[in-house]
């Protein structure tokens, strides 16, 4: 089964949220649901303040805790893309997948009362296209590719990103060097 992943060079991210907009439009998402979220973190004290933008979605982890936590086995891997998806017809909306996901990817759709999350645009991948979020990134800060090509780029750790050791998320970070929120964390690629 193929595996895909993202690369985020957050020094190139200009916080425009085009990735969020592309995702919402392609997936026809309801108000309040965002599969991709740009989160802004600030650290330091004036005049030495630093800002970090992280464009995050479901990381379609190699060891997805959400999939293991689902009591109805509604979480599954897409056979052609390796994406972790939710079978809407069997999902009961219990939220255990969200409780166990350290990245907060699964969300409750209050209209359907079912869980939903990033699909890695599996429908687009099957057509040979990149996910919608990647196609609209104007600076190339968000990139996508086969995991064997992506895995060697950058690092798996970044400030304000949960420890990847358990889930092994399919995302890599380029240029993660800044002082963390508490002013003591320094990560360099």
| CATH code (residue 23) | 3.30.70.20
Say what the pLDDT of residue 177 is: 57
Alpha-carbon torsion (58, 101, 69, 6), positive or negative: positive
Say what the pLDDT of residue 4 is: 95
Judge whether 181 lies within some domain. Answer: no
Q: Which domain holds residue 66?
A: 4-174
Q: How many domains does the chain fold into?
A: 1
Judge whether 119 lies within some domain. Answer: yes
Judge whether 121 lies within some domain. Answer: yes
Judge whether 164 lies within some domain. Answer: yes
Say what the pLDDT of residue 185 is: 37
pTM metric for this prediction = 0.87
Ranges of the chain with pLDDT below 70: 176-189
Torsion of CA 169, 30, 142, 17, to 10 degrees: -130
187 SS3 class = coil
Judge whether 189 lies within some domain. Answer: no
Say what the pLDDT of residue 182 is: 32
14 SS3 class = coil
Per cent of the chain over pLDDT 90 is 78
Query: What CA–CA distance (Å, rounded) separates 142 from 152?
Result: 16
Say what the pLDDT of residue 132 is: 98
Say what the pLDDT of residue 176 is: 64
Judge whether 188 lies within some domain. Answer: no
Query: What CA–CA distance (Å, rounded) separates 6 from 13?
Result: 14
Judge whether 129 lies within some domain. Answer: yes
Judge whether 106 lies within some domain. Answer: yes
């Amino acid at each position: 089964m193929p595996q895909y992943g993202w690369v985020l060079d957050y020094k190139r991210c200009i916080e425009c949220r085009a990735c969020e907009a592309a995702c919402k439009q392609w997936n026809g998402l309801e108000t309040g649901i965002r599969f991709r979220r740009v989160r802004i973190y600030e650290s330091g004290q004036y005049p030495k303040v630093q800002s970090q933008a992280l464009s995050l979605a479901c990381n379609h982890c190699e060891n997805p805790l959400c999939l293991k936590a689902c009591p109805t086995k509604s979480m599954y891997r897409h056979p052609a893309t390796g994406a972790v998806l939710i079978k809407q017809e069997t999902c009961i909306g219990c939220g255990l997948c969200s409780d166990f996901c350290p990245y907060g990817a699964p969300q409750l759709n209050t209209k359907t009362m079912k869980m939903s999350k990033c699909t890695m645009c599996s429908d687009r991948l099957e057509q040979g296209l990149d996910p919608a979020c990647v196609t609209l990134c104007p600076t190339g800060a968000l990139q996508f590719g086969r995991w064997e090509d992506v895995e060697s780029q950058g690092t798996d750790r970044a400030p304000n990103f949960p420890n990847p050791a358990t889930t092994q998320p399919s995302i890599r970070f380029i240029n993660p060097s800044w002082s963390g929120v508490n002013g003591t964390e320094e990560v360099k690629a």
